Amino acid sequence: MFLRLPLLTKTMAPELQGFTENTENGYLMAAAPHQSVKIKVYFTDDLSKVFTDSHESIVPTASQVTIEPGKLFGRCMIMCNEEREMMKSQPAGIPKRLKMTQNVNKTQDTGLDSNYTLDLDHFSLYASHLIITVGGEPGCGLDTAELKLNSSSFSGTIDAQLLDGTTAASLGLISNSLDNVMATNMRDADQSKKSIYIFPLASRAYGGSSVPLNRFDNIRLVLSFSKDSKATSVNVTCVGETTSLFKGGASSLAMY
């Protein structure tokens, strides 16, 4: 007797699962040769929280710290001359979608109100998520968050426990949570005074279900802070995409 058995297969997960859905949509330097891209780095005021050495007690000042250009890495794709000339010769230019962020920061030394509303009307990206950072006394954080578009609730009231690193993983983001980083004095002294949340607007980061915030005249983020400790600052970063037009050897962003 012969038995015909079905073939069993298993899908093997890639080693870098968070990078499997990334797309190549960077800045077209070949289409804008008269402009340059620069990265500006800001150091923390207290470098003792960054530079810690058990063998050295000397902490450098901000003026003594330099960054070697060769240590800042990026990915660049070189185009041939035919491709460059084709891009430059387009009469209507080349529209291209780029990943972009917008930011707002509010600080109040006496402490923010327990129920605080942020005005985000200037956000105009095709946004997939918001990064919310709350700073203040140790243990400060959020209780709830709600996003309102044109005075109507977009998300409903969301408990802050649902906006942790699990949300980042579900969006396809790499979440460098403190549990995955070795314990240092910096974490104990500085990170205990900050709480970071990911507020999703789409099912995936930079996905097709993102929200076009430029189509809304009124954007408000209602935050309810924890009453256990005082929050003195809140920083909201909108993450999404916008359109860049490469024309005449330069690029312009569609920002409103």
Environment class of 205 (CB within 10 Å of its CB; exposed 0-12, middle 13-18, buried 19+)? buried
State the chain's mean pLDDT as an integer.
77
234: confidence class by pLDDT, cuts 50, 70, 90: very high
Average confidence (pLDDT) over 60-83: 71
Residue 218 has pLDDT above 90, yes or no: yes
Residue 174 has pLDDT above 50, yes or no: yes
22: CB partners within 8 A, 6+ apart:
none
What are the pLDDT digits (tens) for 113-142? Answer: 889 999 999 999 999 999 999 988 888 889
The domain spans of the chain are 93-253
Task: Write phi, then psi, for 215 (nearest 5 degrees).
Answer: -90, 5
111: confidence class by pLDDT, cuts 50, 70, 90: confident
Compute the distance between CA of residue 241 and CA of residue 202 in angstroms, rounded to an integer.
12
Q: Is the CB of residue 189 less than 8 Å from the CB of residue 119?
A: no
Provide the whole-model pTM.
0.74
Q: Is the CB of residue 249 less than 8 Å from the CB of residue 33?
A: yes
Residue 53 has pLDDT above 50, yes or no: no
Class of domain 93-253: mainly beta
Residue 213 has pLDDT above 90, yes or no: yes
